[in-house]
Structure 1
Amino acid sequence: MLEVNELSFAYDNEKIVLDEVSFRLEAGVIYCLLGVNGAGKTTLFNCLSGFLKSNLTIDQELIKDKLLYIQDQMHFYLNLTGLEFTELIFSLKEKHFDSEQFDQLLDRLKMRDYKEERIVTYSLGTKQKLVLIIGLLLDYQYILMDEPFAAIDFITAEVITDVLKSVKEAGKTIVVSTHQLDIAQELADEILFLNNGQIHQIDNQFSTPHELKNYIREYI
């Protein structure tokens, strides 16, 4: 379990974005992080992953070896193919690359046709799926995904949703930020609602996206 206690952050002494935020992330649970534009969802992810310095104390080995952050601004060697880039990552980390498992994940995420294609031709959604595959192969415990459903079609969204549910069953912890309440209501075990610098952590007992929307409106 990863526990966050009284995390605070502000940009250059401006308005506080995160105000003593506390929550827990447990194994085998999918969390959906919700909040209006500018609420601080990406800032929270950047603090958890160590991209932003804050008062949060997290073991650096955990960040390096157990936490994967999939965002919209990711760095790739664009002239490499998906396969070449994945092999490079495993070489740099001095890990064994399981090509058979790689192919299986490519198939599950409808990525087989991109295996030998250069990353420069990938869409944002395809890049995010490649990073997810690498993260699953490297067996990360914590997976943070910033708006993974924003740049993909509904078929791909269903594929990713199914994969994330199976990953949860393997005991992984997944946190997904999204503006799409239908996805949040269908995917999440728990909701993390970020509003006015505070996190409201609640069980997802909503039977429809409309119920979730009405709950959120009580805080806005």
Structure 2
Amino acid sequence: TDSEVAALLLGMPITPALRDGIREIADGNPALLQNAGYLLYQELRANRVPDPKTFARDFLSATEQFFQATWELCNDLEKILLMLIALCSLEGRLSDKRYALKGIDTIFSQKEIELNALETRGIIKREEQAGKATYSFASSLMEWWVVKNIQNSTEAELQERQKVFLNLMSHKQAEKVKDIIRLMWKNKDEVPSIFEWIGKVIAAIPKGAIKS
């Protein structure tokens, strides 16, 4: 929440834009916020304006175990749901390679219990748009981590997930999802980099991260 972000970053002379950027990558998770705050504090204490790319790399290095543990604690169904949320978010962002995930809303509506559990654990967040529930990652870096996990998966792992896919969707939909994942494998260079996933932080620092 805004109050949690404000409390954990209390006393740090940073702009509202940078605070918003930190919320985007941590979104109220105390462990992630503390890591972000510590890295910023180290720079500010030395009277340095944080370098955006260095901050991104250091933050990822400090929190990668958190994302790994979060993923490993998910069961197979939850992992597939997270993959689908990531693929929906990535839809249309693979340069000129376009794809459309049809029927995903129906799948999500049928798995509200599992999605609510992921929301309760702070992994995803739910919003209502035009009377329809939409899901996104609470942390943009968690989303990036899931996308990288998809990119680094293998054909054997994809086939192992076939049973879970078919428990969620039709055979045709499952083949479509697998084709999209294979498309990602072939176009790894076109998947947005980590720096695009933490865009608000990147944008805020050059504009003056530190309040005068």
- TM-score by shorter chain over 0.5: no
The structure with the largest helix share of the pair is 2
Higher relative contact order, chain-length normalized (CA < 8 Å, sep 6+): 2
TM range (shorter): under 0.3
More strand by share: 1
**Quick check: which has more Rg, 1 or 2?**
2
